[in-house]
Amino acid sequence: MAATPPRRRVDVHVHLSRYWPDLATNSYDPTVDFSVRGLLRELDAERIGFAVLLQLFSSPSVEETLREGEELFRQSGGRLLQTVTVSPTGGADAVAAAIARWEAARDLVAVKLYPGYLPFYPHDRRLDPVYEFAHRRGLVVMIHQGDTLDPAGLLKYARPIEVDEVAVRFRDVKFLLCHLGNPWVEELAELVYKNANVYTDTSGLLARPTVPYFPAMVERARRRLANALAAIGDVRRVVYGSDWPLESIATAVALVDGLDLPAEERERILSGNARELFRLDAPA
Ligand SMILES: [Zn+2]
């Protein structure tokens, strides 16, 4: 019997929450198994050991977000890593209350911010305590970028250039900008090139496979990814993510695997970069 290959890969961008019920209808396949079991099955098939589970801003409370994240972490045997989220639009007191509650959470790996979906800029001064918390705890700050699934979102808040100021002010914080900044890929690449503490993920670049021109869409996404890499000039700053269940894990991995790069560089995007960024190999 062949030995099971080790699951060294990491998906830095997946969603699973009872507070996003219409996610199933937005997913890559309406029959997707939107459960811990369904997600782990897809991850296993692509040799992915860990996935960063991004909390939704639509959760009813900070408390409930943490409770659900802890539950999914436990149910997955520690493979679905826990994150938190906050919006500065609730005011400085709400931000302080969220951070006070996060202090007690042990297993966090990232804070996710949703500018664009919510009306704030990443350089909103009310977020400074969040960046300070991330620094203190060594958490990655993940920031939604570009296109919003919700047509009511406001794209002006979600441009890569709006991250530059905080990337400079918080040099010791690692920022992971989502979706290659789509559609502002050139702008995103400049941010990553200029700021050594800024990274990007490959998630959410594809719609469901039934849309017209899907093969052309995959080809375009691969070209944009290759162009971004050429502009950034450092393969270590690009990490694989899917945005499951909007994309299937297999499709998202295939996008990276189809890049015209040496095998070890493709594998770096799929595994090593995220393991370093999220310090997954660090002793507990
Ligand atoms: Zn997402």
CB 15, CB 56: distance < 8 Å: yes
Using the mean position of ligand 1's atoms as its centre, give its distance from the Cα of residue 204 in Å: 7
| CA of residue 25 to ligand 1 center, whole Å | 15
CATH number for the domain spanning 54: value is 3.20.20.140
Residue 20: predicted pLDDT:
81
Tell me whether residue 284 is in a domain: no
Amino acid at 172: D
Would you say residue 4 lies in a domain?
no
CA of 132 to the centre of ligand 1 (A): 24
Average pLDDT, integer, range 45-62: 93
Per the rule left: phi > 0, alpha: psi between -120 and 50, beta: everything else, 124 is: beta
Average pLDDT of the residues in 76-83: 97
- Mean pLDDT, range 112-132, rounded to an integer: 98
Q: What six digits make up the tokens of 137?
A: 């705890």
- Give the Å distance between the CA of 2 and the centre of ligand 1: 35
The pLDDT of 93-104, averaged and rounded, is: 96
The answer to the question of residue 175 being in a domain is yes
Ligand 1 centre and the CA of 3: distance in Å? Answer: 33
Per the structure, the count of domains in the chain is 1
Q: How far is the CA of 13 from the centre of ligand 1 (A)?
A: 6
- Give percent above pLDDT 70 in the chain: 97
- pLDDT single digits (tens) 193-227: 999 999 999 999 998 999 999 999 999 999 999 99
| pLDDT reported for residue 284 | 58
The 3-state secondary structure of 200-224, one letter per residue? EECCCCCCCCCCCCHHHHHHHHHHH
Q: Which amino acid is at 192?
A: V
Instruction: Examine residue 256 and state whether it is found in any structural domain, yes or no.
Output: yes
Confidence bin at 25 (pLDDT 50/70/90): confident
* Cα(259)–Cα(240) distance, integer angstroms: 12
> Does some domain include residue 36?
yes
Query: Could you tell me if residue 182 is inside a domain?
Result: yes
CA of 99 to the centre of ligand 1 (A): 22
Q: Token digits for 26?
A: 């937005």
- Whether the pLDDT of residue 228 is over 70: the answer is yes
4 pLDDT band, cuts 50/70/90, is low
The answer to whether residue 1 sits within a structural domain is no
- What is the chain's mean pLDDT, rounded? 95
Tell me, in angstroms, the distance from the centre of ligand 1 to residue 112's CA.
10
Q: Please report the beta strands in the chain, taking only residues with DSSP state E, as ranges in sequence order.
A: 9-14, 48-53, 80-85, 108-113, 140-143, 175-177, 198-201, 238-239
Give a yes or no: residue 160 inside a domain: yes
> 11 CA distance to ligand 1 centroid (A)?
12
Cα dist from 3 to 91, 108, 144, whole Å: 53, 32, 38
Least confident of 58-62, 125-129, 260-264, 269-273: 58-62
Sheet with 175-177: strands ordered across: 9-14, 48-53, 80-85, 108-113, 140-143, 175-177, 198-201, 238-239
Domain assignment of residue 17, given as a range: 9-277
